[in-house]
Every structure is written in structure tokens, then in C-alpha cells.
Amino acid sequence: MAAESLREFCLAANAHRRAQHLERRLVAYARQGVRLQGEAGPLLSFAGNDYLGLAQDARVIQAAQTACTVYGTGAGASRLVDGNHPLYAPLEAALAAAKHCEAACVFGSGYLANIGIIPALVGRGDLVLADRLAHACLLDGARLSGAALKRFAHNDVGQLAALLQTQRAHYGHVLILVDHVYSMDGDLAPLAAISALAQAHDAWLLADDAHGLGVVTPDPAANVDLWMGTLSKSLGSYGGYVAASRPVIDHLVNTARSLIFTTGLPPASLAAAQTALEIAQAEPWRGARAVAHAQQVAAALPPRYAPEGVPASAILPVVIGDAAEALSVSAALRQHGMLAPAIRPPTVPPSTARLRLSFSALHDEREIDRLIDRLRSCLQSS
């Protein structure tokens, strides 16, 4: 029976993962800002991406509630049919202005944006050059495009230059893919140097700003052709976007399959994102406070774990090395009521298992002090 073989295939795959301690499962958390109610009790989260603390801001909730009451829960169709709600245009104008671009287009999510944008711009005979640590959905977009894909070492401008020198002439279009803020390391791409290289070799540059919007101001010397990002992290809503010149956006609206063949966003998500973006711009202390927390914790780490340089984002990796050790430090913190997930290979390179700490404007001084205190004792005894 076909159904029986499907069940057995999955049972065997699950058992294999379990034997290697790689099985993951979904755990329920009810979120109140950075305070979580987990299955085993309350936890203070250093794991979320609500950097500005807007996902439960009363003004954002009000905007979503009003949109829901007035317009209902769903878009009802794809954007190119009749699902293009009037709330899209002001949000796209605000996103374009925030990224200093002519135009912007909102997608169903950041993931959908990347798997739509990249195949709409490059294909067979073209080349994608991606940073080794670029986000998975950039790579998925590159693979879907059918373009040749080459990776360069993380933030290695010299290696990117060498690749452009030796490879550029063999391909039609070349697209460079980087994160503005790297999600597992919290460091920034050297965007000014990379964009200068892109211009010199007639390559296009796409920067993924999922962890930067409202938190990290891009280098003004950077000339980025395509900014993309998400409405689901610092803006506390749901959805993705790309900002670029007007002709690029017009082309994407006509060709990005993940925009064309999917339903528009619920009006409440659009209204929430619009209000959150306005607050993020009017209250820049929010992003600054999240980054300051990362800097304060970094400065208090035992020297062995201190990052190189001062953190520039709200993400702080504490690189422990050994995966089992990272897990045990994470478990010890959990005993103290703190959620600091251990990130292990293959998500990060071999021997660089780590805690990935992320900070929010909502963490208060006492909570940061408590984290520093517990982190020090757990790292010492690991």
C-alpha cells in the first residue's frame, strides 16, 4: 500500500535523526514581550527577533485591530488579481523612503521575497556570488534561478574581487548576495567595499536587511541595487519587501512568481507594519537600546568568549566551540529561567557551536545584569 510505505519512510527517517540527537520538535511559547510562557514555566527570552519591542505595542495592535474590523481577515486574492489592498501603497512608499530607493514591493514573507526576486533577475548563463554565511533563503532563490552559484568566504572582499576578475567575463549578468547583518554572527557586511566592486565589474548587489531595519543604519557610502527585508522581525508584523529603482520594482511585479502566484497579505499585517515602521523612525532609541544591550553583555564576557570588536547589531554570538558544551550552557541558563538557544553545525561552521543571544528594546537593566551574572557562572563551570 502506498500510504503504508510513506508512513514507514518517515518513521525510519525520524528514528535516524533521533539516534543522532538531531531530531527537532515544535515547542509552544506564549509571548509577552521578551517574557515567554513555555511548557515548563516562564522564561526570559534572549532568542527573539522583536528587536524594537513593537510586536505587542498598543499602537501597532490598535492599527491591526482597526484594519481587521474595517477590512476583514484576508486579502481574498493575489495582488495582481483583486487582492491588492489600498493599504499596500502607503506601506511601500514608506519602505522605499526608509531604504532611500525609488520604489518598493511587499511580498508574503522575506523568504518568499528572496525566492521570487532572484529567479526574476538571473537565470541560465548568469552567475550568483554569495557570501558563505548568507541566509538560507538567498541560497534557495539562487538555486531556483538556475544561474551558476559560487560562494566566497565570509566578508572576504579580496576573494570576491578575485572571483569577479576571473569569472565575470564568462557570464551574462552577475548578482552578489549578502546579508547586511549576519543572523548567527551579528556582524555587518562591508557594504561600501562590496558595492564598489559590484560597480567596477557591472555586477548587481542585493543586501538582505532582515536583522538591520530600524536597528543598524547602513553605511552611507554603500550603493546597494536591491535592499530586501522582512516585516516580521523589527516591525513585529508579517511579510517581506524589496526596495530598488522604479524599473526594477516594475519588472519584479511582472515576473516574481512568489508574488504572482500567492494571495496578498491580510490587511491587519499591512496596517501593523505601517504603524510599526512609523514608530521605529520616530523612536530611534529603540534600536539603539537593543544594540547597547548587546555591547554591554559583550564587554562583560570572560575574555575567552569576548567577540572581536564592539557589536554593531542586536545579535551577540557567544562561541563555545564544542556542540555538547554549547548545549549544556544553554540548558544551565534555562534552569535559571533564560532562553539562549545553542546553535550547532550544520547551521554554523564545524567547531563554532555557540549561544546566539539577541536583544530587544524591551529588556530592562535588571534583566541584562541577571543575564551577565548567570552567563558568567555557566561559562565558568562548563
Ligand X SMILES: *Cc1c(COP(=O)(O)O)cnc(C)c1O
By beta-carbon proximity to ligand X, the closer residue of 18 and 132 is 132
| Interface stretch with ligand X, choices 1-9, 16-24, 105-113, 347-355 (CB under 6 A) | 105-113
By beta-carbon proximity to ligand X, the closer residue of 85 and 211 is 211
| Closest alpha carbon to 243 in 231, 219, 225 | 225
The Cβ of residue 254 has, within 10 Å, a number of other Cβ atoms equal to 11
User: To the nearest whole angstrom, how small is the minimum distance from the Cβ of residue 183 to ligand X?
Assistant: 4
- Write the binding mask 118 to 137 for ligand X: x where contact by CB under 6 A, - elsewhere: -----------------x-x
| Interface stretch with ligand X, choices 26-34, 190-198, 207-215, 339-347 (CB under 6 A) | 207-215
Q: Quick one: which of 51, 71, 88, 111 contacts ligand X (CB under 6 A)?
A: 111
| Closest alpha carbon to 151 in 169, 127, 173, 170 | 127
- Give, in degrees to the nearest 5, the angle at Cα 257 between 227 and 251: 55
Is 240 among the residues that bind ligand X (CB under 6 A)? yes
Is 208 among the residues that bind ligand X (CB under 6 A)? yes
Is 232 among the residues that bind ligand X (CB under 6 A)? yes
User: To the nearest whole angstrom, how small is the minimum distance from the Cβ of residue 216 to ligand X?
Assistant: 13
By beta-carbon proximity to ligand X, the closer residue of 277 and 332 is 277
| Interface stretch with ligand X, choices 51-59, 140-148, 203-211, 368-376 (CB under 6 A) | 203-211
Is 145 among the residues that bind ligand X (CB under 6 A)? no
Q: What's the DSSP call for residue 209?
A: -
Is 236 among the residues that bind ligand X (CB under 6 A)? no
Q: How far apart are CA 3 and CA 45, in angstroms?
A: 41
Beta bridge partner(s), residue 31? 36
Number of residues that bind ligand X (CB under 6 A): 13
Is 356 among the residues that bind ligand X (CB under 6 A)? no
| Closest alpha carbon to 240 in 254, 224, 220, 226 | 226
Q: At residue 213, what is the residue type?
A: L
By beta-carbon proximity to ligand X, the closer residue of 179 and 367 is 179
Q: Quick one: which of 179, 185, 187, 225 contacts ligand X (CB under 6 A)?
A: 179
The Cβ of residue 41 has, within 10 Å, a number of other Cβ atoms equal to 9
Assigned C-alpha cell, 356: 546566539
Q: How far apart are CA 309 and CA 93, in angstroms?
A: 36
| Interface stretch with ligand X, choices 24-32, 96-104, 109-117, 364-372 (CB under 6 A) | 109-117
Give SS3 for 260.
helix
Beta bridge partner(s), residue 130? 151, 177
Q: Quick one: which of 53, 110, 116, 236 contacts ligand X (CB under 6 A)?
A: 110
Is 210 among the residues that bind ligand X (CB under 6 A)? yes
By beta-carbon proximity to ligand X, the closer residue of 180 and 289 is 180
Is 109 among the residues that bind ligand X (CB under 6 A)? yes
Query: Residues interacting with ligand X, by CB under 6 A?
Result: 109-111, 135, 137, 179, 183, 208, 210-211, 230, 232, 240
